[in-house]
Structure 1
Amino acid sequence: MKKSLLIAMFTCLLFAFGPFHTDAQQQPDYEKYGRIATAVIKEDYPGAELKDYQYLGRKRISATDVSDSFRFQVTEQGKPKNLVVNVAHNLQNKKLLNLSVEEERSF
């Protein structure tokens, strides 16, 4: 009885303090590319106020390559703009492949 109680307590401690709750696993893997996209927007629109950005999702390009998309809301010369940044990168070597910035049209 004592042995099974000790095993149960050890298992609970392992889950509570083990590698399942590390900060590295809590961070989304697109965070690096979000920082790159933000830097590009700030460089391309130097006087614009960056209001907000949203992660739009990931599309698979090939077996090893994906594209993460981000929507930025900026105000340039008093006019609001929505910009979409697509960041293509390789999942295996974590290298950037392509980056594009497009202005969304207002309807």
Structure 2
Amino acid sequence: MKKFIQLFIFLSLVLLPSMALAKEENGYAKYGRIATAVVREDYPGQPVTEYAYLGREELSGNRVQDRFRFEVKENGVEKFVIVTVVHDLSNKKLLHLSVTEEMRNG
């Protein structure tokens, strides 16, 4: 029983900080929610059928750019909506948000 408790404590000390670090590295979740809200506002009542995180690009200093792609159907026409979010990693503030629309091929 004592070995089990020692193993539990050891794993807690090793795994919990690394899990917290992994969650922090996935820092795009907040901006994904913002991007989703923007798309729902721009296309009210239209179905959003796909969502994809396209990745992060490092800009200057602590600034990064995250890109998200949504597939929406507006009046029977399927479109890709790309939301680009520029934010500062040091203060976790949104700096710029842009929305572009592309027609879906096929």
Identity among equivalent positions (%) equals: 45
Matched with 2:61 is 63
Q: Deviations over 1:3-52 (max 9, x none)?
A: xxx6xx73x32343332365684472100000000000000111311112
Aligned partner (choices 46, 49, 63) of residue 47 of structure 2: 49
Task: Report the aligned-residue RMSD.
Answer: 2.6
Letter in 2 for 1:46: P
Taking structure 1 as reference, are residues 38 and 15 closer, same or farther at Cα in structure 2, changes over 3 Å only? farther
Matched with 1:20 is 17
| Structure 2 gap segments, 5+ residues each | none
Matched with 1:104 is 102
Secondary structure of the corresponding residue to residue 39 of structure 1: helix
| Structure 1 gap segments, 5+ residues each | 1-5
Letter in 1 for 2:64: V
How far is 1:56 from its partner? Answer: 0.3
* TM-score, scaled relative to structure 1: 0.80
Secondary structure of the corresponding residue to residue 97 of structure 2: strand
Alpha-carbon distance between aligned partners in 2 of 1:14 and 1:52, rounded to the nearest angstrom: 42
Secondary structure of the corresponding residue to residue 85 of structure 1: strand
* TM-score, scaled relative to structure 2: 0.80
CA contact (8 A) 1:83 1:104 kept: yes
Of structures 1 and 2, the larger Rg is shown by: 1
